[in-house]
Amino acid sequence: SDDKIVKAEGASLQYVKPGEVTIRAAYKDNPKIYTEFKVKAFTAADPTSISLPKEVILYPDFAQTVPVEYTPYLSFHTISSAATADGTIAELAYYSGEGVRVNGRKPGSTTLSVTAGSKAKASAKVTVKSGKPKSSPYAEVKQGRLRGGLIRAGFEDLTKGYTCILGKEYTFTYGVEYKDGYDYQGEECQIKVDLSENLAATGLFDGSSAGTTGTTVGIFMTKAIKAGEATVEVVPGVKVKITVIDPSKVQRISMHRLYNPNSWEHFYTGNEKEKDALVKMGWKYEGVGWTAPSSSNTPVYRLYNPNNGGDHHYTMNKKEYDALIKAGWQGEGVRWYSDDKKAVPVYREYNPGAAIRNHNYTANKKEHDALTNKLGWKDEGIGWYGLK
């Protein structure tokens, strides 16, 4: 509305002088489709103060970004200078508009000083402790070649093992993740496990895998070439069971159904140990709900909602799975497979009168009809399929 205050060039806005204007952004093929918003333009004075944490804890060969806060106008300022009093204890790596990167060198204490503009100065005590920060190993196996960045599945997934399909390519990512934002800066590789070599030694995977290994992460692509099982060291001290399945020799897996009389939740699992553990905790075992194939082209995903007392949800719709993760659910990955021949439907029902634990899944047509025709449940069709 006033290009003497702010100039709009495409998707960019350029400051001219202080003031307030209205910006209209329209769809070029149809000017009737538009939105408007206000923009306030002003000259930002030098920050009057900046603040740092009172103390920064580091370790030898580990780095951390120290956040810097400005008063006022964080986004309009950059750090003018930063330094550590004793660079042999902790040295400055670099600084940006919002933080200072500091590397620990040897145990001891020093002072980090930061200046922004002509007025704002702050300092923080930097203590370098001996040893290393707490860490967790992580690993993930994804079918196909890597796309995008690393997705760290966390230590918990390492205990569950992995199932791969004969003839398929897989990307393995594995390593050590340090808590509280520490990054390892030393030369020694913290992984100390060549997972590519370990997998090749089982005879189940192609030994000519391609990949890279860094100080805290390894990543490589390999191919499953033989059906079988093996226990493999993934990261130091952590061994997991890895199974390669031949799709032409599909195994039958009994899918157990359990009920929690305290929370009214039904739970489904093909894992015998998980079933037995829940029964010991007071869940009621309701028998085998259906039989699933050990592998197929149609995975079924499981999710957990930590915000409503522990509800689980199951779906073979990857878009639904991803949408629920964005909504705050925890994705628990593939838990079983649907029969690609669609032999036995497993029906899905929704209870509109329940705020939580409002889905049921059953291969029993009589149960499905009773819930949807007599008890007010909504028929949501077929969730997935089991074997005959």
pLDDT in tens, 34-48: 788 888 877 767 777
Among the ranges given (137-141, 166-170, 181-185, 258-262), the one the predictor scored with the smallest mean pLDDT = 137-141
Per-residue burial over 71-106, b if 16 or more Cβ lie within 10 Å, else e, is eeeeeebebeebebeeeebbbbeebeeebbbbbbbe
d(C-alpha 308, C-alpha 165), whole Å = 35
Give pLDDT tens digits for 278-330: 999 999 999 999 999 988 889 999 998 887 667 889 999 999 998 999 888 88
Q: Is the pLDDT of residue 62 over 70?
A: yes
Half-sphere exposure of 139 (CA within 13 A, CB side): 26
Peptide bond preceding 72 in cis form (omega within 30 of 0): yes
Residue 213 in tokens? 């290994």
Q: Is the pLDDT of residue 163 over 90?
A: no
Report CA-CA distances (Å) from 191 to 132, 142, 208, 297. 14, 20, 20, 33
In angstroms, the first-to-last Cα distance of the chain is 68
Q: Mean per-residue pLDDT for 140-165?
A: 62
Q: DSSP label at 253?
A: E
Residue 362 in tokens? 């059953």
d(C-alpha 317, C-alpha 332), whole Å = 14
Q: DSSP label at 339?
A: -
**pTM, whole model, 2 decimals?**
0.52
d(C-alpha 224, C-alpha 231), whole Å = 15
Q: Mean per-residue pLDDT for 212-233?
A: 86
Q: Is the pLDDT of residue 25 over 70?
A: yes
Cα 273 vs. chain centroid, distance in angstroms? 26
Q: Mean per-residue pLDDT for 88-101?
A: 87
Average pLDDT in the chain: 85
Cβ burial, residue 249 (10 Å; 0-12/13-18/19+): exposed
Q: Given pLDDT bands bounded at 50, 70 and 90, which one contains residue 136?
A: confident
Q: Is the pLDDT of residue 161 over 80?
A: no
Q: DSSP label at 186?
A: S
d(C-alpha 93, C-alpha 140), whole Å = 31
Q: DSSP label at 201?
A: H
If residue 267 lies in a helix (H) or strand (E), which one and from where to where?
A: strand 265-269
Helix, strand and coil content of the chain, in percent to the nearest 5, comes to 10, 50, 35
Q: Is the pLDDT of residue 168 over 80?
A: yes
Q: Is the pLDDT of residue 11 over 80?
A: no
Q: Mean per-residue pLDDT for 378-386?
A: 94
d(C-alpha 51, C-alpha 73), whole Å = 13
